[in-house]
């Protein structure tokens, strides 16, 4: 169990460089409440204190009772843990940032899901075993087509949207026959490029949602619900 900290207030920002500078200035862990969950965030991890993409996806998804869930690029673990709260049975959370993996492990334990969830260090799908399959893949993608200098920036920057291409291109291997992949993206990224990547992946767009910004100059977010057929 982690020691409770003062709960940090959530706020929105449209300036990614200011957001990263804010996160770099956080030298100590902090707690933040999201969707009724108190999450513990370690330094060097994208925090839902500033990132609201998970809220948008959670507002649009459908989680079936007993679902097996893969949280790709889990960060704090917010999406996968919210899926468990919504009725999912099993969670595997993956991230390339070791601090994010540790943060997610702490939150899994803190919220009492240690028997139903695990977090692994992984480059996209690399930590998965060949026979693992999932009913849902959740992916809050990095938006900006910029080169990342470190693990923290990888949560925001995806040069040439290569991570997106790998995530979409590999999804068919890990989804059950009737599985779904939810992808949340932003108009601050190259939406046309992502649409082409979805087409290349041979995944079918079952649904698409548009979320309007709640602050002036904020993101327009797009949620794709993708299936194998």
**How many residues make up the chain in this entry?**
229
Torsion of CA 116, 100, 109, 107, to 10 degrees: -100
User: Model confidence at 156, in pLDDT bands (50, 70, 90)?
Assistant: very high
* Cβ atoms of residues 40 and 31 within 8 Å: yes
Q: 15 or 153: whose pLDDT is higher?
A: 153
Q: What is the pLDDT of residue 52?
A: 79
- 38-79: per-residue pLDDT in tens? 999 999 999 888 877 888 899 999 999 999 999 999 999 999
Q: CA 125, CA 170: separation in Å to the nearest integer?
A: 8
> How many angstroms separate the CA atoms of 109 and 81, rounded?
11
Q: pLDDT by residue (tens digit) across 79-92?
A: 999 999 999 999 99
- Output the six-digit token pair for 226: 């993708």
- Of 73, 78, 21, 18, give the one whose Cα is nearest residue 47: 78
pLDDT tens digits, 12-43 = 777 889 889 988 988 889 999 998 999 999 99
Contact 200, 152 (CB under 8 A): no
Predicted confidence (pLDDT) per residue in 93-106, tens digit: 999 999 999 999 99
């Amino acid at each position: 169990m982690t020691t409770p900290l003062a709960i940090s207030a959530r706020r929105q920002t449209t300036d990614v460089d200011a957001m990263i500078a804010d996160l770099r200035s956080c030298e100590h862990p902090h707690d933040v409440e999201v969707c009724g969950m108190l999450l513990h965030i370690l330094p060097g991890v994208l925090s839902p204190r500033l990132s609201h993409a998970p809220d948008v996806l959670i507002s649009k998804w459908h989680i079936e009772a007993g679902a097996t869930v893969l949280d790709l690029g889990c960060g704090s673990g917010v999406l996968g843990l919210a899926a468990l709260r919504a009725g999912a049975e099993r969670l595997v959370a993956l991230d390339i940032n070791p601090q994010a993996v540790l943060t997610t492990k702490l939150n899994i334990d803190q919220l009492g899901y240690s028997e139903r969830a695990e977090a692994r260090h992984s480059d996209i799908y690399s930590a998965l075993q060949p026979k693992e399959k999932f009913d849902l893949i959740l992916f809050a993608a990095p938006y900006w087509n910029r080169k990342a200098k470190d693990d923290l920036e990888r949560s925001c920057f995806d040069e040439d949207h290569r991570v997106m291409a790998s995530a979409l291109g590999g999804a068919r291997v890990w989804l059950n026959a009737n599985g779904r992949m939810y992808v949340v993206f932003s108009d601050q990224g190259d939406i046309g490029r992502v649409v082409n990547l979805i087409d290349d992946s041979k995944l079918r767009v079952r649904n698409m949602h548009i979320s309007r910004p709640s602050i002036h100059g904020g993101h327009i977010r797009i949620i794709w619900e993708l299936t194998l057929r």
